[in-house]
């Protein structure tokens, strides 16, 4: 009997934090996609369209008491995928640099943003994968068996 080998995609995201030696007031979060994750993110994106600007909250500056934001380019996302995602960090999945190179570095001013972003990636990337693998090229059929009785 011939064995069949099945290759399972590696949909993974790695996070690494770097605390600077100096008192810069930030922590760097590095986000890295596997090749399979890059492919599925690009599959969910409209990469032929012009990327759009999106603002991202990097946390609240404790000294100044204001939110620190940055503006990054992100790909537009297919409506069926985007409508299923939640929270303000969902756009991070589709940042152009991350989708193209597989790496993004963010300088966060609030360490609580690390948990917020990693949780968002876990939930939203799971939904992207589910939508594009479970519902992609889905073909179903329903069969009804009817039994007709003649009562005379």
Predicted structure pTM score? 0.78
Domains held by the chain: number = 1
4 within some domain = no
104 within some domain = yes
Each residue's pLDDT tens digit in the chain (152 positions)? Answer: 677 776 778 888 999 998 888 777 789 999 999 999 999 999 999 988 888 999 998 888 767 778 888 999 999 999 999 999 987 889 999 999 999 999 999 999 888 899 999 999 999 999 999 888 877 665 666 767 777 777 76
8 within some domain = no
pLDDT at 97: 93
99 within some domain = yes
Please name the residue ranges forming H helices in the chain: 35-44, 79-82, 96-101, 112-134
6 within some domain = no
Range of the domain at 47: 13-134
145 within some domain = no
54 within some domain = yes
């Amino acid at each position: 009997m011939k064995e069949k080998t099945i290759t399972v995609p590696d949909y993974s995201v790695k996070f690494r934090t770097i605390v600077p030696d100096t008192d810069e007031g930030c922590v760097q979060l590095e986000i890295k996609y596997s090749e399979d994750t890059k492919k599925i993110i690009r599959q969910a994106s409209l990469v032929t369209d012009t990327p759009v600007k999106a603002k991202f909250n990097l946390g609240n500056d404790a000294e100044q008491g204001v939110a620190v934001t940055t503006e990054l380019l992100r790909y537009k996302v297919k409506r069926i995928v985007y409508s299923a995602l939640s929270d303000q960090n969902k756009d991070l999945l589709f940042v152009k640099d991350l989708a193209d190179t597989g790496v993004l570095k963010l300088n966060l001013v609030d360490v609580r943003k690390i948990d917020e972003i990693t949780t968002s990636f876990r939930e939203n990337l799971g939904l992207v994968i589910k939508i594009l693998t479970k519902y992609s090229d889905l073909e179903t059929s329903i069969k009804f068996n009817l039994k007709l009785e003649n009562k005379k």
